[in-house]
Amino acid sequence: MCDEAFSKTFMEHFLHPKNVGSMKNADGVGVCGDPGCGDALTLYIKVKDDVIDDISFLVYGCAAAIATSSMTTELIKGKTLDEASKLTDEDIAEGLGGLPLHKMHCSNLGAQALKNAINDYYTRKSK
């Protein structure tokens, strides 16, 4: 991997990802994968008073999949469920200082896994 194409923020999240790990008793779990490249993300959320109080992830994939997953958690922690549900691929890429065009699909993992985790939370809550 040539780090010249990636920002310092990207490299920090790739080399030292934040909020890594599974979560016991998560309130919501979201999974997303990209069969085209083999990346897979599982995102866990804890919700308190409609705010994402804690968030963590497990990811299998390239440097961009790791960095975008880490950035997703940093952007969302402490946000309301409504605010979190509006996170876009572009927000994640922007948070990392941009992504090369051929890696933009990785930012979709975080946004989609988050939406899936929020939906899972609401499904569990309604039961």
Residues that are catalytic: 37, 106
| Other beta carbons within 10 Å of 59 | 24
- What tokens does 113 get? 């896994």
Residue type, 84: A
DSSP H helices in 2-102: 8-15, 63-76, 81-85, 89-95
Distance, CA of 16 to CA of 14 (rounded, Å): 6
